[in-house]
Amino acid sequence: MTEKEKMLTGNMYNANYDQELINERLSAKDLCFEYNNIKPSDLEYRHEILKKLIGKTKDSFIVEQPFYCDYGYNIEFGENFYANHNLVILDPAKVKFGDNVFIAPNCGFYTAYHPIEFDLRNEGLEFAKPIIVGNNVWIGGNVVVLAGVTIGDNVVIGAGSIVTKDIPSNSVAVGSPCKVIRKLSDKKPSVRNI
C-alpha cells in the first residue's frame, strides 16, 4: 500500500518522505499562492483557480483570500458556500461542506493528527480522519474543527470554539471544547425568534 493509499484510508502514513504526496502538496500550494495573489475583483479568475484546486464544487461558492490547503482534491463545497478571509483546510482526509455553509474569518479544518508517542511522531507519521459539515451551517470566527468531526444540519458554531466531537443537527454549540448550549427548532425561523 502506498503512503497516499494509507492516508486516504485513515491508516498511519508518512507524508514527509513520500515524493507523490510532497509533489501533490506543492502543486496545491502553488495554486493557493496563485489564488491568493489574484486581484480580488477578478472573480472569474478566482473561481477558475478554485475549480482547479478543489476536488468538487457546486456552482455558487466564494472563498475570500487568503486561502490555504494541503491537497485540495479532498475538499468538497456544497451550493452557496461562503468562507471569509484566512480559511485553512488541512485535507489529507475528506473535508465535505453541505449547502448554505457560511464560515467567518480565521477558521481551520484539520483532518490530520499525530501520534501521542513521540518516537512515531518524530518519524513523521500521522493519521487523517474526515470532517463533514452539514447543510445550513454558520461557523463563527476563529473556530477550529478537528479530525473526525461531523457537524449536523442547521447548526451554529460560536466564535472561538474548538470542535473536538460531533455536533448534532439543529443546535447552537460554543466553547473549548465545543458543546451544545441550545437546541433549535427544525421549523423555519422568523425574524422574531432569532
Alpha-carbon Rg for the chain in angstroms: 17
| Predicted confidence pLDDT, tens digits, the chain (194 residues) | 999 999 999 999 999 889 999 999 999 999 999 999 999 999 999 999 999 999 999 999 999 999 999 999 999 999 999 999 999 999 999 999 999 999 999 999 999 999 999 999 999 899 999 999 999 999 999 999 999 999 999 999 999 999 999 999 999 999 999 999 999 986 665 544 43
Contact assessment for residue 93 and residue 129, using Cβ atoms and an 8 Å cutoff: yes
Alpha-helical (H) ranges within 37-97 are 43-53
Give the global pTM: 0.93
Q: Give CATH for domain 3-181.
A: 2.160.10.10
Region of 154 on the Ramachandran plot (φ > 0 left; ψ -120 to 50 alpha; else beta): left
For residue 114, indicate whether it is catalytic. yes
* Active-site pick, 47, 114, 129, 179: 114
**Where are the chain's structural domains?**
3-181
